[in-house]
Structure 1
Amino acid sequence: MTDPVLEVLRTRPELADLAAFPFDFDVSRAYHVEGVHLASGASLEPIAGDDTGGTYFLCGGTAVLHASSDGYASLLADSVGEALEMLVRLPWWCEDVSAEMDEEELRAAVRAGDEEARKEFAPELDAQRAALLSGLGLPDRPLVELAVMSESATRRTDPDYVLLNSRELCAYQLEESFRPPLHDVVLGPGREVLARLRSGDSGAWRAAADDPVLRAGVLRAAQYDRREGDLPLLRFLLEREDAWRTEWFEERRLAAVLVALHGQDEDVTLLRSATSGQVTNSAGGVEWARAEEAKRHGRDVAAESEFTWIELARRQGRIEHARVALIRMLDDTGPDADRLRELSRALERLGDHAQAARAQFNLLSLQDTAWSRASEAYVLARLERRKGDLAAAGRALERARAAVGVDGTGQDETVSQWHRRGLGRLITEQHLELTLAAVEAGDAELARATMTYARLLLDTIGKQSAKALSKLSTRAKWAVAALPPSGA
């Protein structure tokens, strides 16, 4: 369904001309300088351009995003009509307006800007504005409302309206002041339940008892907002963590730290259980907790690793929040192998194999031993295959083979036993997986070539590794055998 205001502009040239000049929304220039798409995967349609090379996009059929030619992009409005209201009544030449101004201040700023615009390029501005507003049927709402709407839209750019360069997969920038800290997003539910726990709300106690993800947020909220009188609820949270014994050991340790800091003898038994015997008395518990806090459980939320909040966002089901945070982190990461590895693995866990492959490609370029090159190359092959770029997966496996010297030449001492260790099995497994993927994709040439190397690898790696891959290798061999003859 076409936006009604956009349809009017497309069918009434006189209104389209007014939108283009002086208000810089030109529907005749509905194209962008490069290929782009939304990180969320929602539809994206260029609908107008400005005279600096920027573009207005319709997102998901409704919202309007503006992307500049210098790599910035932000949500402008929830509809084309709202976008035109802002552009016409708070135009680009009124640069000093903000949502902090009241109505009179905004009107004064617009009057001052309009006066300059009339002198310099738009002597008929008042008539042009009135004709466009009337022709599009736009409301005459207070300027302060428009300013608040505009700022609200910009703050909602992340995570659903993040624009990516389609070739390099880098995100268009957004001023950090408009990007809500991820820790505020993921701590919101925990802070709310923590307040209810403190008030004695029985529903909150039941919710925290039954939901380990919510409990994680409550514990983190309590870590950064400590109050006198919290010991009973902290003890309750630790009891639940100790009883559940989930994979999230870090949260059990955090709860133990928060309880142990109170130094109460009655908590020693619980602390001994929760810490696997590290705490045996209250004084020792305080000492242990202070040491743990110095290492990892401080009170400064800004000092916590961003990966903590990304993982909590993932567990809460805020996948787009987590993914966008990782993409922006990747954009800002230089030649830091440890950080790139963590980004690659985190993006893969979220299912974003394209961004994970971007991080992994950069990581591979930093490896300085044959073993590490082979280890990271087979991971890159897995990611490229999962994102659907089978040719790139083949190139990554070629780099893995070169690193280990499959034919016995060019090896260095770091990989002399690669075929007898897990690395050999992992590289071979990726060859077999790529063979099957190539057959399924109808790429017989890649399938046969990859299977040739897979056979060589199966004959080279240890017998136990080859046995473990026997079912996968049988499937791959039969899949290749079923291909039509070459040249048929």
Structure 2
Amino acid sequence: MTDPVLELLRSRPDLAEIAAFPFDFDVERTRHVEEVSLASGAALEPIAGDDSGGTYFLCGGTSVLYASSEGDAVLIADSVSEALEMLVRLPGWCEGLTAGLDEEGLRAAVAAGDAAAREEFAPELDAQRAALLAGLGLPERPLTELFALSESAARRTEPDHLLLNAAELCAYRLDEAYRMCLRDVVLGPGRAALVRLRRGEAGAREEAEADPVLRAGVLRAAWEDRDEGDLPLLRALLAREDAARGARHEERLVAAALVAAYGRDEDVPLLRSATSGRVTDAGSAVEWARGREEHGPDAFTWVELARRQGLVGHARVELIRLLDDTGPDAERLRALSRALEGIGEYAQAARAQVNLLSLQDTAHGRAVEAYALARVERLRGELGFAAGALERARQAVGPAGGEGAGRGRGGPDESVAQWHRRGLGRHLAEQHLELVLAAVESGEAELARTTMRHAEAVLERIAAKGAGTLAPLSSRARWAVAGLRGA
């Protein structure tokens, strides 16, 4: 449904003319300087522009985002009418509009800006403002309320309104004052639960012990905010983590470090179990805890906790901004690629993976990162790019894994001499077979057939054990291609 105020502007040239000048909201300027999209995937419609090349976008049919021509973007309002009211009553030519001002202060700042505007470019400003407010049916609420709405919108830019350059997938900048702090976001539930636990509120202990995600948050909150009286609670949480012994172990080590730091003899048996024997007495407990202190939480800690809490949008923003700020750092790029893939951000994972692949200086490294690139390209539906990545992997290990192995960039090396006898061969074959199935499903018959030929060549070379583990997948791929031949 079209916003009624936007529809009115589009149908009333007289009002649209005033909105465009002097208030710089021109509904005839709807072409941004570059193609953009929202990281969340929500609908994005350019609805107006200003004389600096910036663009106003309608997000999801309601909220208004402003993007400058210089790569900045911020949510300014929850509706077009609210955005117009802000632009008309708190215009950009008014300097000194800050959150510390009361109603009288804001009015004084606007009056001063208006006086300069009348003298320099808008002598009919008062009449134009009145006509636009009346014509659009906009309210005249207190300026403090309007300013607060603007500030609130800006702080809600992330995570749902992060704007990306569509070509390079880099994020538009947002003033640090409005950026979310992922650490604070994900620690919120844990901090609240920790307060209840410290107060001894009924059911708080049972709730934390029963919920592994909340328990993780509590432990991280306790790590950030130490309290001497937490030891009994920490012992209970450590015992619960030690008993769980699931796939995750990081929280168990966090809990162990918190308890070990007290250096109590009575905790040694539990600590010995939780640390797999690394703690053997009270002295070694304290020493081990100090070692853990040197490896505290990093950005990926908060990303993973956000993912576990279901805050995928928050994790997405953090990872994209981290990727934008990452240079030629292979370890960081690999971590970002895997984390982005883990939350389903395959296009961003591919961006990280392309950069990571470019840094590889051994044939083995090129093969490994190329098949990983093929995986994420396939998962995002770019099957042609996936095929190209697999070709690079094959080139790294040699034609069908035969003569010339490792003769890609950097010349021959021994890093892939036994590629077919290692896990590399199995992974390479697996990605070929997965691409075959994806190509068949998407109707790309020639790609499916070509990739199947490459897959069979790789399967012929790899170790029997590796080929055996892929037998079900290989059979599915062969039957799928056979069905194409019969079609």
Measured against the shorter chain, the TM-score band is over 0.9
Q: After the TM superposition, which residues 296-375 of structure 1 pair with which residues of structure 2 at under 5 Å, given as runs?
A: 296-297=295-296, 304-375=297-368
Aligned to 2:408: none
Distance in 2 (CA, whole Å) between partners of 1:272 and 1:414 is 39
Distance in 1 (CA, whole Å) between partners of 2:464 and 2:262 is 57
Does the Cα contact within 8 Å between 1:406 and 1:457 map onto a contact in 2? Answer: no
| Local SS of the residue matching 2:365 | helix
Aligned to 2:155: 155
Aligned to 2:14: 14
What stretches of structure 2 of length at least 5 have no aligned partner?
406-411
Aligned to 1:469: 470
| Local SS of the residue matching 2:97 | coil
TM superposition shift of 1:361: 0.7
Distance in 1 (CA, whole Å) between partners of 2:241 and 2:321 is 33
Deviations 1:96-128 (A, max 9, x none): 212222212111111111111101110000111
Distance in 2 (CA, whole Å) between partners of 1:47 and 1:451 is 48
Aligned to 1:146: 146
TM superposition shift of 1:330: 0.6
Distance in 2 (CA, whole Å) between partners of 1:403 and 1:277 is 42
Distance in 2 (CA, whole Å) between partners of 1:380 and 1:346 is 14
Q: After the TM superposition, which residues 67-86 of structure 1 pair with which residues of structure 2 at under 5 Å, given as runs?
A: 67-86=67-86
- The one-letter amino acid paired with 1:22 is P
Distance in 1 (CA, whole Å) between partners of 2:11 and 2:221 is 54
| Local SS of the residue matching 1:48 | strand
| Local SS of the residue matching 1:45 | strand
Aligned to 2:371: 378
Distance in 2 (CA, whole Å) between partners of 1:466 and 1:234 is 48
Aligned to 1:186: 186
Q: After the TM superposition, which residues 101-180 of structure 1 pair with which residues of structure 2 at under 5 Å, given as runs?
A: 101-180=101-180
- The one-letter amino acid paired with 1:344 is S
TM superposition shift of 1:228: 3.2
| Local SS of the residue matching 1:24 | coil
| Local SS of the residue matching 1:482 | helix
Aligned to 2:403: 409
Distance in 2 (CA, whole Å) between partners of 1:268 and 1:456 is 56
Aligned to 2:389: 396
List structure 1 runs of 4+ shifted beyond 6 angstroms: none
Aligned pair count? Answer: 479
Distance in 2 (CA, whole Å) between partners of 1:289 and 1:430 is 42
- The one-letter amino acid paired with 1:427 is L
TM superposition shift of 1:325: 0.5
248 and 476 in structure 1: CA distance in 2 versus 1, 3 angstrom threshold: closer
Q: Which moved more, 1:325-334 or 1:267-276?
A: 267-276
| Local SS of the residue matching 2:229 | coil
Distance in 2 (CA, whole Å) between partners of 1:321 and 1:215 is 20
Q: Which moved more, 1:93-102 or 1:40-49?
A: 93-102
Does the Cα contact within 8 Å between 1:371 and 1:414 map onto a contact in 2? Answer: yes
Deviations 1:328-358 (A, max 9, x none): 1111111110000000000111011111111
TM superposition shift of 1:484: 5.0
Q: Which moved more, 1:329-338 or 1:426-435?
A: 426-435
Distance in 1 (CA, whole Å) between partners of 2:467 and 2:273 is 43
- The one-letter amino acid paired with 1:6 is L
| Local SS of the residue matching 1:69 | coil
| Local SS of the residue matching 1:30 | coil
Aligned to 1:282: 282
- The one-letter amino acid paired with 1:296 is H
Does the Cα contact within 8 Å between 1:64 and 1:75 map onto a contact in 2? Answer: yes
Aligned to 1:60: 60
Aligned to 2:98: 98
Distance in 1 (CA, whole Å) between partners of 2:465 and 2:226 is 54
Q: Which moved more, 1:139-148 or 1:391-400?
A: 139-148
TM superposition shift of 1:480: 2.0
Distance in 2 (CA, whole Å) between partners of 1:440 and 1:213 is 37
TM superposition shift of 1:436: 1.7
TM superposition shift of 1:95: 3.2
Distance in 2 (CA, whole Å) between partners of 1:288 and 1:45 is 55
Aligned to 1:451: 452
Aligned to 1:219: 219
Superposed CA RMSD in Å reads: 1.6
TM superposition shift of 1:167: 1.6
- The one-letter amino acid paired with 1:441 is S
Distance in 1 (CA, whole Å) between partners of 2:202 and 2:279 is 31
273 and 475 in structure 1: CA distance in 2 versus 1, 3 angstrom threshold: closer
Q: Which moved more, 1:8-17 or 1:461-470?
A: 461-470
Q: Which moved more, 1:16-25 or 1:413-422?
A: 413-422
Q: After the TM superposition, which residues 263-282 of structure 1 pair with which residues of structure 2 at under 5 Å, given as runs?
A: 263-282=263-282
Q: What TM-score comes out, normalization by structure 2 length?
A: 0.95
Does the Cα contact within 8 Å between 1:193 and 1:204 map onto a contact in 2? Answer: yes
- The one-letter amino acid paired with 1:465 is G
Deviations 1:273-330 (A, max 9, x none): 322333333343223322332x324xxxxxx310010000001110010011101111
Deviations 1:143-182 (A, max 9, x none): 1111111111111111000111122111111122211211
360 and 206 in structure 1: CA distance in 2 versus 1, 3 angstrom threshold: same
419 and 282 in structure 1: CA distance in 2 versus 1, 3 angstrom threshold: closer
| Local SS of the residue matching 1:229 | helix
Distance in 1 (CA, whole Å) between partners of 2:455 and 2:272 is 52
Q: Which moved more, 1:49-58 or 1:282-291?
A: 282-291
Does the Cα contact within 8 Å between 1:260 and 1:285 map onto a contact in 2? Answer: yes
| Local SS of the residue matching 1:196 | helix
- The one-letter amino acid paired with 2:347 is A
- The one-letter amino acid paired with 2:13 is P
Q: Which moved more, 1:182-191 or 1:34-43?
A: 34-43
Does the Cα contact within 8 Å between 1:432 and 1:473 map onto a contact in 2? Answer: yes
Distance in 2 (CA, whole Å) between partners of 1:309 and 1:442 is 40
Deviations 1:400-423 (A, max 9, x none): 111100253322322111112111
- The one-letter amino acid paired with 2:321 is R
Distance in 2 (CA, whole Å) between partners of 1:389 and 1:283 is 56
470 and 247 in structure 1: CA distance in 2 versus 1, 3 angstrom threshold: closer
| Local SS of the residue matching 1:230 | helix
